[in-house]
Amino acid sequence: MSVPEFNAKKHEQYRTINVNGMFGGVRMGYIEAVVYTEESDLTKALGTAQVNPNKMEVDRILQCRLLWDPIQLKATSLWLNNKVKEYETLFGPIPSPEEVAEKQKRKGTGQ
C-alpha cells in the first residue's frame, strides 16, 4: 500500500490570533477552550480635554472556540511542552504567571 501525497492548504478564513488567554473546561468526550484577545480601548481616556488614563478600558474579544478529543489534547499538550523547552533553550527561561505577578507586585510597592 502506497502512502498518499498530502497537500497543505489554508482555509479561506485562515488568520493569526495573538492569544492573550484561554478559558474553558472538561466536558464528556472533549475538552473545550475559548481563545480570547485583549485590546486597549483608549476612546474614553482620550475623549476629554485632559487625557485621563483612568478611563482606559480593555475589550476582551472572543476569537474562537476549540474542542479537543482527549487523545488529541494529550498530543497537543506534548507538542506545546516541547515548544516551551525549545523556546527556553534558545531564549532563556520563561517566567511563570505567578513569578510575573510577584514581580509586578514588588514593582508597585517599590521593593
CA angle at 83 for the pair 26 and 91, rounded to the nearest 5°: 135
pLDDT of residue 19: 93
Regions of the chain short of the pLDDT cut 50: none
Instruction: Give the start-end residues of each E strand in the chain.
Output: 21-27, 30-41, 57-68
pLDDT of residue 111: 62
Whose cell is 479561506? That residue is 12
**Residue 24: partners with Cβ closer than 8 Å, 6 or more residues away:** 31, 32, 33, 34, 66
Is 69 within 8 Å of 77 (Cβ atoms)?
A: no
Count the Cβ atoms, other than its own, within 10 Å of residue 63: 15
pLDDT of residue 104: 87
pTM of the model: 0.72
